[in-house]
Structure 1
Amino acid sequence: MPDGDGTLHLVDLHAPVDEEYLNTRNGANNAYWLFTRQNPTNRDILVNGNANSIRNSNYRGNRPTKVIVHGWSSSGTSSLNPMITSQFLHAGDFNVIVVDWSRAASGAYTTSVRAVPDVGRHLASFLTFLFQTAGGNWNNLHLVGHSLGAHIVGNAGRAAPSLPVRVTGMDPAGPQWGGNANALNARSGVFVESIHTDGGRLGIMDPISDADFYPNGGTNPQPGCRTSDCSHGRAYEFFASSVRTNHLVGRRCNNLQQARDVQCSGAALNMGNMILGKRGNGLFGMRTQAAWPF
């Protein structure tokens, strides 16, 4: 499996969970980094329970808030975070919060999987404190997560006192998540979408959200990719591009096989983008180009 920089690691999916590791590396270790148009590259560090860390930052409660969560063996500095952050700040005046859960994400894959619900619950607790301290609300919140991070934002949405208005899963992690009650699902937000790019391998293939997008069939190889890890990462590249241009349009499919075959011709729904009021239901297929902006 790839880490946040695309380096491959051999993973034992039957390795026992390291309970001792989880006792010291869990959601309480989450770090929250704020980026705004006032500080687009230099993070403000927000601390759960520390009101001064929020009041002394560039956070503004009247702005929409975007939250980005990385996947396994990654961190807040992994490539998806600056890529998506820069596109959000180019497109609008947002609070962009990058969640660094690298302490729990750096264990064996099976152990990091077990950490996901706790990391999500702590994220929900932090956002509750943030809104209570400095303003903001769940109807102005968009949670975005890649791989294991997709399941984290799913857990955060379900743990929140009110559903976030939008949740986006970018190729939600597949191994150990089929039939898992802790996986991202349509109950995680008012509108939940998933972008599937390596379904059946590193990502989930089955539809799990209100709207499930299957660009280029939803599987490896994606155009321009030769490997599964490249296809897995395409999901966040597609999303980042869509934030800037909103040009990736899916067509509704009658079933999953149509989505696999990219033979969908139903109603249109744009994939990704930053629109908080986005709504839609069903499976959507589309083709993209092999390189940015796809």
Structure 2
Amino acid sequence: MLTFIIYFYLLLFLMRIMHGQGNSCACNQPDSDFAIGVNLIYYKCNNETSGTIVYPITAPEEMLKVLEDKRTIFYIFGHSQSPDDANVQLMMRALCYERTDNVVLLDWSKYSKLFYWISFQRAEKVGRLFAQSIRLLVKNGLDISKIYIIGHSLGVPIAGFAGKCNDFTIPRITALDPANPLFYPFGCYLRSTDAAWIDIIHTDMGGYGTLTCMGTAEFYANGGTRPQPGCKLIDNPFSKADVCSHQRSVEIYAESKYHPKEFIAVQCPCYVDYKENKCKGNLQSYVGYAASDVHGSFYFHTGTL
């Protein structure tokens, strides 16, 4: 097993060299051909999530004509996903619920469905494009204070670039089970300085999700590790069954939009103390959509969603 791990990391390192990544957190823009097919999709949220308007990521300014005077949520899906995936549509329906926010999806499916290590490299370039698109929107009138970015899995590093590569502060980034750095140890991941407030929902730590604390508030569902209720401990890699716990973070967030009072977390130093009811009376917080400006580690239980 140890030999396999050594070979695995050696392979990743060699691939990194072969692809000549250099400083992956740099903010230089990729060539114009790379951006073709990467889009921002505005959801009309008129009870039909299929009602959308597509804008090229390099020219998002026209979207300002349709944005209403309220917060704008940008959602970024993860590896192997696309706008039509059930997990993504689940989130779109939830974000559109009651039309509380403008809803925009970053569609990078042109690159998200490649082999993981290639998708990660492309994701860093997509992140730079995304940062530029946010900058163009702000330059042309989008209120910075009304920007909210949500990323899932490999979408989380992309979200981080909006903070790294701009001279203004993103108010909030929510990271749904951020991608595990063990799969790509030399990449540019979300940092706690990428937004004024960053909340993380962990559901598959050490699996497809990171073991690292990346935010100002860390929320651990059922301890934050697999198997989440209703999911298997292990299955074929990248199969629907095997990513069940990883995808649960999206399901939890979506449900938190509909039923915020059902997702209350308690601040606690560790999961053992939480399970033994040693944290009664500690600070409590909503999880997901209704969460706001708390700091530290929070634990909560869920059933099968």
TM-score by length of 1: 0.82
Count of residues in Structure 1 that have an aligned counterpart in Structure 2: 274
Q: CA deviation at 1:179?
A: 6.7
What is the aligned counterpart of 1:182 among 180, 183, 188?
188
Change (3 A) 1:52 1:113: closer
Moved more, 187-196 or 83-92: 83-92
The secondary structure found in structure 1 opposite 2:223 is helix
What is the aligned counterpart of 1:82 among 85, 89, 99?
89
Q: CA deviation at 1:27?
A: 5.2
Change (3 A) 1:188 1:50: closer
Aligned equivalent of 2:267: 252
Superposed, 1:1-294 pairs within 5 Å as 14=11, 16=15, 19=19, 26=34, 29-38=37-46, 40-50=49-59, 53-54=62-63, 58-60=66-68, 62-133=69-140, 135-176=141-182, 182-227=188-233, 228-247=242-261, 248-255=263-270, 258=273, 264-265=279-280, 266-274=282-290, 278-291=292-305
Change (3 A) 1:199 1:30: same
Native 8 Å contact 1:65 1:97 kept in 2: yes
Separation in structure 1 between the aligned mates of residue 97 and residue 256 of structure 2, nearest angstrom: 12
Native 8 Å contact 2:73 2:150 kept in 1: yes
Native 8 Å contact 1:145 1:153 kept in 2: yes
Native 8 Å contact 2:79 2:112 kept in 1: yes
Q: CA deviation at 1:106?
A: 2.2
Native 8 Å contact 1:138 1:164 kept in 2: yes
Deviation per residue, 1:84-129 (Å, 9 max, x gap): 2211221433221111111222222112122232211211111222
Native 8 Å contact 1:222 1:234 kept in 2: yes
Moved more, 93-102 or 209-218: 93-102
Max Rg structure: 2
Q: Give the letter aligned to residue 224 of structure 1.
A: G
The secondary structure found in structure 1 opposite 2:159 is helix
TM-score by length of 2: 0.79
Separation in structure 1 between the aligned mates of residue 274 and residue 161 of structure 2, nearest angstrom: 27
Separation in structure 2 between the aligned mates of residue 49 and residue 146 of structure 1, nearest angstrom: 22
Native 8 Å contact 1:65 1:94 kept in 2: yes
Separation in structure 1 between the aligned mates of residue 43 and residue 300 of structure 2, nearest angstrom: 32
Q: CA deviation at 1:164?
A: 1.5
Q: CA deviation at 1:78?
A: 2.0
Q: Give the letter aligned to residue 151 of structure 1.
A: P
Change (3 A) 1:198 1:259: farther
The secondary structure found in structure 1 opposite 2:208 is coil
Structure 1 vs Structure 2: percent identity of aligned residues?
23
Q: CA deviation at 1:65?
A: 0.3
Q: CA deviation at 1:169?
A: 0.5
Q: CA deviation at 1:29?
A: 4.2
Give the alignment's Cα RMSD to 1 decimal. 2.9
Aligned equivalent of 2:25: none
Show structure 2 runs of 5+ residues with no match. 1-7, 21-29, 234-241
Native 8 Å contact 2:35 2:58 kept in 1: no
Show structure 1 runs of 5+ residues with no match. 1-11
Deviation per residue, 1:203-257 (Å, 9 max, x gap): 0123211001111010111011114411000000000111122121111122476
Q: Give the letter aligned to residue 249 of structure 1.
A: I
Change (3 A) 1:140 1:273: same
Separation in structure 1 between the aligned mates of residue 257 and residue 33 of structure 2, nearest angstrom: 33
Separation in structure 2 between the aligned mates of residue 196 and residue 97 of structure 1, nearest angstrom: 23
